[in-house]
A and B are shown apart, each in its own frame.
Chain A
């Protein structure tokens, strides 16, 4: 069945880079996403990558996609204390390319130490 796996915790020092990893199972997924959730808040879309791309960069965020290994990563450069949150990897269910039918991982809690 479809599944998205992430490590549950990551701790880094302020100013370092953070790398959050994710593996997925559905090779037909059209889009792969990274969402951020802060305590008591909803989900905020950080970035997404189309499945025919290998890399996408957006300011401090770099997404790498390895389709062969079904591996997705999110790198946050110069991590700040405000980046502390839970980060969810998600893949589309590929219902006609709909971007809202998603399968989420359990989330990686990023703690940034000053």
Chain B
């Protein structure tokens, strides 16, 4: 396994356009997380999934944002009608949570979004 993979690595889009990012977690990891990191800040939690169920959404996740994990494996994060304030690094992480074992979160390298 090569770790958490995110695609694309960079995205430049015009304001008002929709964008979609993909995250492939470490296989067998049942939890998947999305974070946003703006310049000079630490990552901020957006949402997470347990298998295909979205269990928590931050208030940072406006109604222009939607995340899915339809088969409990890869996930997509879509931003509709992008705004300049959406420019950030979007990080994905995965972990395993079980009855007798749980692992730390492993992060991908992120997708850097620039809205012009």
Q: Which residues of A contact B (CB under 8 A)?
A: 4, 31, 33, 35, 41-45, 48, 88, 90, 93, 95-107
Contact = CB atoms under 8 A, between A and B. Distances in A.
Given A42-B91, A43-B91, A106-B41, A100 B33 contact: yes
Nearest to A40: B109
B44 A104 contact: yes
Interface of B: 4, 31, 33, 40-45, 48, 55-56, 91, 93-95, 97, 102-110
Nearest to B3: A42
Interface of B is mostly: strand
Contacts of B55: 95
A9 to B, nearest CB: 12
A37 to B, nearest CB: 9
Nearest to A107: B42
